[in-house]
A = this chain, B = another copy of it.
Amino acid sequence: MFNPSIWKKLRRGPQVILLKDAAMISALTGLQSGDRVIDCGAGSGFLSCYLGSIVAPSGKVFSYEKREEFQKLTEANVKKAGLDSVVRVSLRDVIAEGFDEKDVDLVTLDMGDSSLALPHAFSSLKAGGFCAGYLPHAEQVQTFVKAALAAGFEQGETIEVIVRPMLVRERGFRPENSGLLHTAYLSFLRKPRAGHSPVSAMPVSKGT
C-alpha cells in the first residue's frame, strides 16, 4: 500500500498532475506492476511518483525533464516517496534528443509542445503500447491528435476528468460550493499491433 499522505508531503514546483488525472491515465492504459513507463516532462514529479507506485517493485519509470530545477525537484520528491529504485529522472531536452528506452508500455507527455515528442514516443513504445497526453487547451488536443495520426498512432479517447467533492454532514448532503473546474484534457493514443484491428473504446464512461 502506497501511503496516500505522501502527496501532502511532496513539494510543488510547476503545476502538478493531480490524482484524478494520474488515476485515469493508469487505469485506461492497463498499467500494472512490472511495466516500463516514460514520463515527460517530469515537472514536480507527481505523475512519475504515481506511475512508479503502480509499476513497483519490478517495473520502471523513466522520467525526463529539461529544466534542471524541476529535475532536482522531481528527484527529491521521488526520494521522499520512497520510489528511488523505481523512478529514474534524466535531465534532457527530449524533443531534440529523444528517449533512450525501447519497448516501453506507456509514454506520458505533459509539455507545452508535447506533439513534437510524438515520433520519439512512437519509436520507444512496444506494439500495443499507449501514449497519453495531458493537454490544458482544446487547440493543443487538436494539434496532438493530428501529429499522433501522422506519427502512426491509432486515436483513442480524449476525456476530461471531473471530481466533485461532496459534503456529508449532519445538516445535509451536497456538493462543495467551489473548487476545481478544469486541469487538462487527457488524450489517449495506441501504437498499432501487427495483425490487429484498431481497439474499440474502453468502457471508461459507458453504461451497460
Contact = CB atoms under 8 A, between A and B. Distances in A.
A102 B171 CA distance: 34
Interface residues of A, number: 81
A88 to B, nearest CB: 18
Copies in the complex: 4
Contacts of A53: 30, 32
Interface in A138-167: 138-142, 145, 155, 157-167
Q: List 4 A-B pairs, minimum CB-CB distance, nearest first.
A: A137-B172, A33-B33, A23-B27, A2-B30
A165 B54 CA distance: 25
Nearest to A140: B172
Given A1-B35, A4-B29, A166 B160 contact: yes
A105 interface: yes
A183 interface: yes
Nearest to A5: B199
Given A1-B35, A32-B2, A161 B202 contact: no
A1 B130 CA distance: 10
B159 A164 contact: yes
Nearest to A14: B208
